[in-house]
Structure 1
Amino acid sequence: MLRKIIHIDESRCNGCGLCIDACHEGALRLINGKARLISDAYCDGLGACLPECPTGAIRIEERDSAPFDEELVKKHLAAKSHSMPPASGCPGSRSRLLQPESATGPSPVAGQPMPSALRQWPCQLQLISVQAPYFEDADLLIAADCTAYAYANLHADFMTGKVTLIGCPKLDHVAYADKLTTILQLHSVRSLTLLRMEVPCCGGLAQAAEEAVAACGKAIPLRLVTIGIDGQVLVPDQP
C-alpha cells in the first residue's frame, strides 16, 4: 500500500543511535554502524525519530510498503523486553539525564572507583541533538577532549551539576558555533563554561563558544578556563 514511512540516508547517518531510542515501536536498529529500518510494518510513519537525528539523515517519504501493524509491534516490543537491548551507537546512548551517584557524597577510598558526574548521553558535541531536553535550565560545560586526560579531577571540579559536551576542533568536522548558537537559542541555558587546553588548536573551541553567546541574543554568562599540558589551571575560573 502507498503510505508515509521513514527513509534513512545512510551516507549521512553517523551511527549515533539517537533515532533508535526515539522510536517507540522499535522499528530501528544499528547495523554495521548505520541506523536501519528493520521492518516497514513496525514504522507508523509519524517521524518521532526525525528531531533526534543530528545529521538530518532521516526524512518522511511516501512509498509502497507494508501497512503499519500495531499487533505485530506489540509482539516485537514484548520480545525485546525479554532480551538485551541492541547497541545504540555508543553503549547506553539515551536522550535523557543519567542518574549518577552524587559527587557530593562520601569521598572515594583507595581501590574504589570515583563516581561519574556525567549527567547525559551522548556527550560528544558532534553527536548530540540540539533539541535534547537536558539543555533546559542547564549549566553547560563545553570541554576539549584532552582536558579529561590532562586534568585529573575534572568530574569533581568542573562537571558536577553541569551538562557536559566534549569536542575537538582539530578532529571533528562540525560547525561548532552554529550548533551551539542553536542550543542557546532553543533552551534556557543558565551559564556556559568553556574548558580548553593551552594548545593552539583549542582556540577554535573557545572562539565557537564566544560566537555562540554573542549570536544567541541572550545574556548568558561565559567562563573561559585554560588547562596547561602539565595539568595545572592556567586561567582560573572566574566567578
Structure 2
Amino acid sequence: MKRRIVEINADKCNGCGLCVTACHEGAIELIDGKAVLISDIYCDGLGDCLPNCPTNAIEIIERDAEAYDDDAVKMRIRAKKAMEAQGEEEPQQVEKTLPCGCPGTMAKTIEKKITLTPQIQTKATNEEGSPSELMQWPVQLRLVHPNAPYFNNANLLIAADCTAYAYANFHRDFIKSHITVIGCPKLDDNDYYRQKIAEILMNNKIKSITVARMEVPCCGGIVSAVKTAMLQAGVIVPYREVTIGTNGEIKE
C-alpha cells in the first residue's frame, strides 16, 4: 500500500541519534553511525522525529510500504524495556544541592608547567612519564559550577567514570586540551545530568563536545543526557562520541 513514511538521507545524517530518542515507536536505530528506519511496520508516518534532526536528514515521503502495525510496535517497546531493565537498578536519587563551604569543590583552573623537575615527575606522571593533562577542578559533574570560568570557549569532554580506568592513554588521547567532567549514568540521576549539562551550554560558549562512554548498555544514559541537554539548551555544537570496550580498546 502507498502511504506516508519516513525517509532518512544517510549522506546528511551526522549520527547524533536525536531522532532515535524522538521516535516513540522505536522505528529508528543507529547502525554504523547512521540513523536507519529498521522496519516500515514500526513507522506511523507522523514525523515526530523531524523537528529533532539538526541536519534536515529526515523527511516524510509517500511510497509503497507495509502498513503500520501498532501491536508490533507495542511488542517491540515492551521487549526493549525488558532488555534495558534486565539487571539494572533504579538511579539513585541524590540531593541536587551541594554543601556550602567545602574547599574541595572550589572551582579552579590547573596551570600546566612546560617542564617538570625529576622530583615533580615522580608525583605528577605515570610509569611511562606522561604528565597529567587535567585542566580544571573539580571534575565530577555533580560538583562543577555551570558558570565556572573554565567552561567558556572550552572543548568539553563528558566521560563516564569507568572510561579513564579502561583506556590506558585517556589523559593523552581525551583529556588533553579539554575541560573534563565525569559521571556514572548507572549510579546517578541522568535527569540531573541533563539539566546540569544544559545549564553549562546555556551559560557558556562551548566549542565542541566529546562524549566518552563504555560499551556496556547502562552507559547509554550519559549519551542520552548530553543529546537531550543540547535540545533543551537550543545549542548544537560539533559532537563526537567514542565507545570504549571493557578490554580497553576503542570500539567506535
Provide the TM-score with structure 2 as the length reference.
0.54
Residue 101 to residue 153, structure 1, CA distance change in 2 (3 Å)? farther
Structure 1 position 171, deviation (Å): 1.6
Uncovered stretches (5+) of structure 1, i.e. residues with no partner: 1-10, 21-29, 31-87
Matched, 1:195 2:212: yes
**Is 2:198 the counterpart of 1:186?**
no
Determine which structure has the larger helix proportion and give its number.
2
Correspondence for 2:185 = 169
1:99 to 99, 106, 111: 111
The answer to whether residue 224 in structure 2 is matched with residue 212 in structure 1 is no
Deviation at 1:170, TM superposition (A): 1.4
Structure 1 residues 154, 97: CA separation in 2 closer, same or farther (over 3 Å shift)?
same
| Match runs of 1:58-73 below 5 Å | none
Does the alignment pair 1:145 with 2:161?
Answer: yes
What is the CA-CA distance between 1:215 and the residue it aligns to? Answer: 2.2
Deviation at 1:13, TM superposition (A): 6.0
In the alignment, what sits opposite 2:238? 221
Mapping of 1:227-238 within 5 angstroms?
227-235=244-252
Letter in 2 for 1:173: D
1:142 alignment partner AA:
I
Give secondary structure in 2 for the equivalent of 1:223. strand
- What is the CA–CA distance in structure 2 between the aligned matches of 1:207 and 1:110, rounded to whole Å? 33
Q: 1:119 is matched by which residue type in structure 2?
A: M
Once residues 110 and 159 of structure 1 are traced to their aligned partners in structure 2, the CA distance between those partners, rounded to angstroms, is 15
Aligned to 2:136: 120
Secondary structure of 1:165's counterpart equals strand
Asked whether the 8 Å contact 2:108–2:138 carries over to 1, the reply is no
* Structure 1 equivalent of residue 170 of structure 2: 154
Residues 213 and 222, structure 1, Cα contact 8 Å, conserved in 2: no
> In structure 2, the residue corresponding to 1:233 is in which secondary structure?
coil
TM-score, normalised relative to structure 1:
0.57
Distance 1:12 1:207, change over 3 A: closer
Deviation (angstroms), 1:180 = 0.5
Q: What is the one-letter code of the residue matched to 1:114?
A: S
**Corresponding residue SS for 1:143:** strand
- Per the alignment, residue 57 of structure 1 pairs with none
Q: Quick one: percent identity of the two aligned structures?
A: 44
5 Å-filtered alignment, 1:39-118, equals 88-89=103-104, 93-101=105-113, 111=127, 113-118=129-134
In 1, Cα distance between equivalents of 2:207 and 2:194: 18
Write out per-residue CA displacement over residues 6-48 of structure 1, whole angstroms, 9 at most, x where no aligned residue: xxxxx87644xxx54xxxxxxxxx5xxxxxxxxxxxxxxxxxx
SS in structure 1 of the partner of residue 189 of structure 2 = coil
- Counting matched residue pairs gives 150
